[in-house]
Structure 1
Amino acid sequence: MRKITAVAMAALTLSLTATSAFADQLADIKQRGSLVCGVLGTVEPFSFSNPQTREVQGYDVDFCSAIAKSLGVKLELKQIAVAARIPELQQGRVDILAAALGWTPERAQQIAYSDQYYVSLTKVAVKRSEGFKSVADLAGKRISANKGSTSETAVKKAVPTASTVTFQDAPTAFLALQQGRVEGLALGEMMLVKFKLQADPSTPIEILEPPVMHEQWGLGMRKGESAFIAHVNGVLQAMEKSGDATKIFDKWLGSSTAYKLRRDFKVEQIKG
């Protein structure tokens, strides 16, 4: 019995040691004086480099800034790849993720999600000259998507016979479509709208209907950090109530932008 107890105590000690590494993250961030926010940095208008200032800006950045301001600390942005988002968070290299992080049951088992702060419609774009009229027409064809993204998952479900070709970022996936290396491109609607506007007029792009996925985006945090999670959700709810969340949407995605999207969602709990 004593041997079993000793083993159990050793396991508990290891568990407590591991937990203490990120214990009371909210207090740690305040003491450190900075909030490290993981962003993609390559997805306009969510997080991208301003060509004049070289600083990363965008929709995601503005939400990170609001949270840092609420804590009275400075904001530090860390650019990360799509596939590295959750590992960077779990290993403590970032405090929070604002990185086009769509909710999935699998991800929700690994990390905590904030309330939704954006809802993305995933659609598929094709070259007009190819004559595709619906997503179903891409059966047996090649469709590009970001590696490790929910767009990749959505394509596999919507067109199981299609071959999914993944890339590290959206511009590279779009280039594959332009060069004819794939027949379709699966991305969020607003990114596809931007790419459509940027496309060579001699090879126009069409966005197919209907969407292959409605994706709720949340800010990613480590599980177990109840105080930090509650604080972040409190900030998001306050931004919704004050209208600040709507202002950020209009600034980057609204009628005066190239995307001309309408905000038909609000900050609320993600219901998986």
Structure 2
Amino acid sequence: MEKEKKYQNVVELTNDWVWEVDEKITFTHLTESISDLLGYKPDEVRGKTPFDFMVPEEAKRIEAVIRPIMEARKNYTFMESRFIHKNGHEVITEASGNPMFDETGRFTGYRGIVRDITDRKHAEEQLKKREEELREQTIRLEEVNQALKTLLKHRDENKKELENKILSNINELVLPYIVKLKETKLDAYQQVYVEIIETNLNDILSPFLLKITSKYLSFTPKEIQVATLIKEGKGTKEIARLMKVGKGAVDLHRHHIRNKLGLNNKKVNLRSYLSSLS
């Protein structure tokens, strides 16, 4: 009797629903907590089974799980089930139970506890849904990324193909005539201009001009011309003569070139640096 009284005191302190069923799984005892859990008073539930408060599909599923356990007189823990509240909404619960026996050892039913885990399950479902959405977004991003890589690859291939065509045309359709032109009678200035044209065409075929026009887009045509002549080893006086400008203009171009290359205030030879770009 004293033991039973202590048990009852503990039961009254918990917010979970404590219950007892007989061997036919009919409720014989319930705590008041069932009102908070399912909206029913204990008298409305006593004499009925748990399955009476579930949708048919859930009742069939739970009965198929619980009957073998009861027949084997085993304990069970954390059994998840879904009840229908008196007002119609679903309540997700987690139950644990132990078999009961009388003084003679005869099986008399089960006693257990039910806890409301609706909020937790909804949170888990939302998290699972969010994880699935993120997984789908990741897959879509990977597909987009792969498509972009394919497009960039095709663009690079097309760019390379165009570059190769240009270089091939220069080699086959332009340079041979430059060579023939040099074999004709040219005066000194004409000879220099032909050499400049040939040099510039060769630069197009080399990485030098590509680098200074792509990396340093602010280079003016005159600065590109001066840079090319400097790389060839021409001095300021000779460059001025070839370009028909004053030495001051060439010096100014040299200053701008060094500035755009980030070489001002550095002890770096401009010709050596330009040659390193080839």
Q: Same fold (TM over 0.5)?
A: no
Taking structure 1 as the reference length, what is the TM-score of the superposition? 0.24
The structure where helix makes up a greater share of residues is: 2
The structure where strand makes up a greater share of residues is: 1
1 or 2 for the larger relative contact order (CA 8 Å, sep ≥6)? 1
- The structure having more radius of gyration, on CA atoms, is 2
Taking structure 2 as the reference length, what is the TM-score of the superposition? 0.24
